[in-house]
Amino acid sequence: MRIDSKGLIYLEDVPVETIAREYGTPTYVYEENRIRANFRRALSAFRKYYPDFRFFYAIKANNNLAVANILRQEGAGIDAASINEILLAKKLGLGGEDVMFSGNFLSDDDIKQGLESGVIFNLDDISILPRVLKYGKPKFLSFRLNPGYGQCEVGDFVCNGGPNAKFGVHPDQIMDAYRLAKEAGITRFGAHMMPGSCIRDPEYFRFITGLLMDNIGKVGRELGINFEFIDLGGGLGIPYKHEDKVLDIDEAAKQVSDIFTRKIAEYGLNSPRLMMEPARYFVGDAGYIVGTVHSIKNSYSKIIGTDVSMNTLARPAMYGAYHHIYVNGREKEERAAVGLCGQVCENTDFWVRERMLPKDISLGDLIVVENAGAYGYAMSYQYNGRLRPAEVLVNGDKHYLIRTRENIEDLVRNVSVPDYLTK
Ligand code: LLP
């Protein structure tokens, strides 16, 4: 993003006015070069300290195939949370060992299709293993450990590790889990965890890597398992508030590889590949929503009404998450405290209660919501007949529509009305 001397906003080199004119609002916009830069910065940091390193991209955060293809071109594999995400990976031309299936609380159908797909099977609980073995033997298996600790930026909402999380194998069960798998004749193993999201403290990554390695090290030593990869999950954080500190990615990589190599030596493991599967770090700060001010109310307080509603961006209403807002052409102007909301009939849609925004914000002004590239469109939904927005990719001064705005046909697409009700 760039703001010129008149306060006009550009995403890469495309004015937001062009986005609004060509595609309407609300529209998600992604900066291709920023995605690539984020990926390359992180990859070179980790490879600098541990050359046998690979990223998988957790496609749940932004499943637009244009965005995912950028990361595939950069060399990422795919972390899939469901069968449909394995099928999305297939549409990218990825399968086999380039895809990791980390579903949880799987149905028998999930298990059967997961096995048929031939991707790396990452099990979230020991109880899944016998169910998998009923249908076949995965070539490559890992377990997701819940290391007993997790952390997250938005309260407990996204804390995926520790006693309150639904995810992962309990440390007391991890030895038995791998033993059963080995006894069943499975020969290729990895290990995995995903205890938290949006962490900007390098020490956290060192700490959780130590926890995982202590558990996995004992398994390797006792069962003679040769782990081919260790996957530390995602969690690399971005600052949502401008005063928040940026994650020192070099320091995180250094801390992780330091503890990782020590633990490999301590437990006598053959150097496994080190993997992570971030999403937010790659796409979060490369995405924006362009919206329009449609209505302004002066009542108990002044409220600016925009077309960026809770169904467009769910995070503020769901987690109380903060997203910075810019107003096109007014960034240099005087500010005043106002509220801002969307158009949905829920009061959680009053998603900015009070914020210093340009005082003269007016009807027709364009707003730009920052850090919307991860868990933005992917978590949008249809409510109140407010439909999902368009998605646009920008690269330099070029812009491409990468998902069409929904229309009324999308709202009724899967609906059928029994004949007698039409009479
Ligand atoms: N791997 C697994 C198994 C995951 O479950 C996730 C995210 C990731 C990787 C990627 O995590 P990241 O690098 O983005 O932290 N909706 C929430 C975030 C939910 C995270 C779910 N799992 C939000 O908007 O903050």
Q: How far is the CA of 362 from the centre of ligand 1 (A)?
A: 36
Residue with CA nearest ligand 1 atom 19: 158
The span from the CA of 173 to the CA of 145, in Å, is 9
Residue with CA nearest ligand 1 atom 22: 197
Report whether residue 194 contacts ligand 1, using a CB cutoff of 6 Å: yes
Helix (H) or strand (E) holding 297: strand 287-298
Tally of CB atoms within 10 A around 38: 25
Report whether residue 79 contacts ligand 1, using a CB cutoff of 6 Å: yes
Residue range 207-250, pLDDT digits in tens: 999 999 999 999 999 999 999 999 999 999 999 999 999 999 99
Q: Find the largest Cα–Cα distance for the chain.
A: 76
pLDDT at position 155 is: 67
Mean pLDDT in runs of 10 for the chain (423 residues)?
97 98 98 98 98 98 98 98 98 98 97 97 98 96 95 78 93 98 97 96 97 98 97 97 97 98 96 97 98 98 98 96 98 97 98 97 98 98 98 98 98 98 97
Q: How far is the CA of 235 from the centre of ligand 1 (A)?
A: 7
The span from the CA of 28 to the CA of 403, in Å, is 9
Q: Which atom of ligand 1 has the smallest separation from the CA of 235? A: 15
Reply yes or no on whether 345 is catalytic: yes
Q: Which domains does the chain have, with CATH numbers?
A: 2-30+285-412 (2.40.37.10), 63-278 (3.20.20.10)
Catalytic residue (choose from 159, 198, 341, 345): 345
Contact (CB, 8 A) for 4 and 387: no
Report whether residue 55 contacts ligand 1, using a CB cutoff of 6 Å: no
pLDDT at position 153 is: 78
Pocket test for ligand 1, best of 169, 194, 238, 240 (most atoms within 8 A of CB): 194
Measure Cα distances from 246 to 34, 243, 420 in Å: 16, 9, 60
pLDDT at position 186 is: 97
Residue range 35-68, pLDDT digits in tens: 999 999 999 999 999 999 999 999 999 999 999 9
